Structure 1
Amino acid sequence: MAGFTRMIVRLARNPEAGFPDGDPRYGYVIVAPLQADGHLDAAAWQAHKADCTVRRFSPDPDDTADGWLTHQGGKWRVRYDEESEGPDDAFDHLGDHRLFVGDYVTITSRGQALVYQVSTEDDA
């Protein structure tokens, strides 16, 4: 998939949610097109929606899920393919954030907004 980037975002420090040091066992693997400035490329996503995938990972195998990156009304979400995987997760303001290693994004899952950090593939 030329022009696509595989990004790993891992749970960052979220002291108020019980993760004072973060937890790299929780996160998402996102495959999507990025612009040179690190922002998602909405036009390329539009042309290749089926190739833009997301995998949620967790130490609990029942909490892992596979889905697709979706964009509607200016908002980016993860659409899961099975009802048992839970409701869609929202990538808060993802269109405004860069996705370079070290950058942060907020993801709302099951009503809880948590901060994640883009990490390297080497520690995946």
Structure 2
Amino acid sequence: MAHAHSLKRILLNLARSKQHPDGSARHGYDLVAPLDAEGRLDPSAWHDAKALCRVRRFWAGEPDMMGHLVHRAGGAGGATWLFDYDATQSDDDEAGYRLAQHVFRPGEYVSVRDDEGEMHTFKVVTVTAA
């Protein structure tokens, strides 16, 4: 079973981009995920607590989307982490870019490919106990 202290609440806000030169706190993700001691996603802890690993996508002008953090075989490094909003279909999934290698600490950056195939970069704003 995943240790409760390994589950973290992570807030990601849209980083600077052409459309948002100062970034945007109105676009991002709020997720609960297991992190290891280095701050990386922990697949073993995820397996034990996957029902608790949730994601909320918030995007200005659109309704929030609620889903799950999912770990699947394949992809860069042998696995892919993604946000799944409907388990009955895959065209709504949003895949993280090499999320297994990233450290989730305030000030770090991660990238997510949205359901339309566009890559967005996000800044880790906060990491707190879930």
Higher helix share: 1
Aligned length: 118
Q: TM-score with structure 1 length normalisation? A: 0.87
Stretches of structure 2 lacking an aligned partner (at least 5 in a row): 74-78
Q: Following the alignment from structure 1 to structure 2, what is the Cα–Cα distance between the partners of residues 118 and 23?
A: 12
Question: Could you say which structure has the greater relative contact order, defined with CA pairs below 8 angstroms and 6 or more residues apart?
Answer: 2
Q: Following the alignment from structure 2 to structure 1, what is the Cα–Cα distance between the partners of residues 22 and 101?
A: 25
Identity %: 37
Cross-structure match for 2:42: 41
Instruction: Write out aligned runs for 1:91-102 (5 A).
Output: 91-102=96-107
Stretches of structure 1 lacking an aligned partner (at least 5 in a row): none
Q: How big is the shift at 1:3?
A: 2.3
Q: Following the alignment from structure 2 to structure 1, what is the Cα–Cα distance between the partners of residues 103 and 10?
A: 11
Per-residue CA deviation, residues 19-64 of structure 1 (Å, 9 max, x unaligned), is: 22211100000101101101011100011111100000122243x2
Cross-structure match for 2:8: 5
Q: TM-score with structure 2 length normalisation? A: 0.83
Runs of 4+ with deviation above 2 angstroms: none
RMSD over equivalenced CA pairs, Å? 2.1
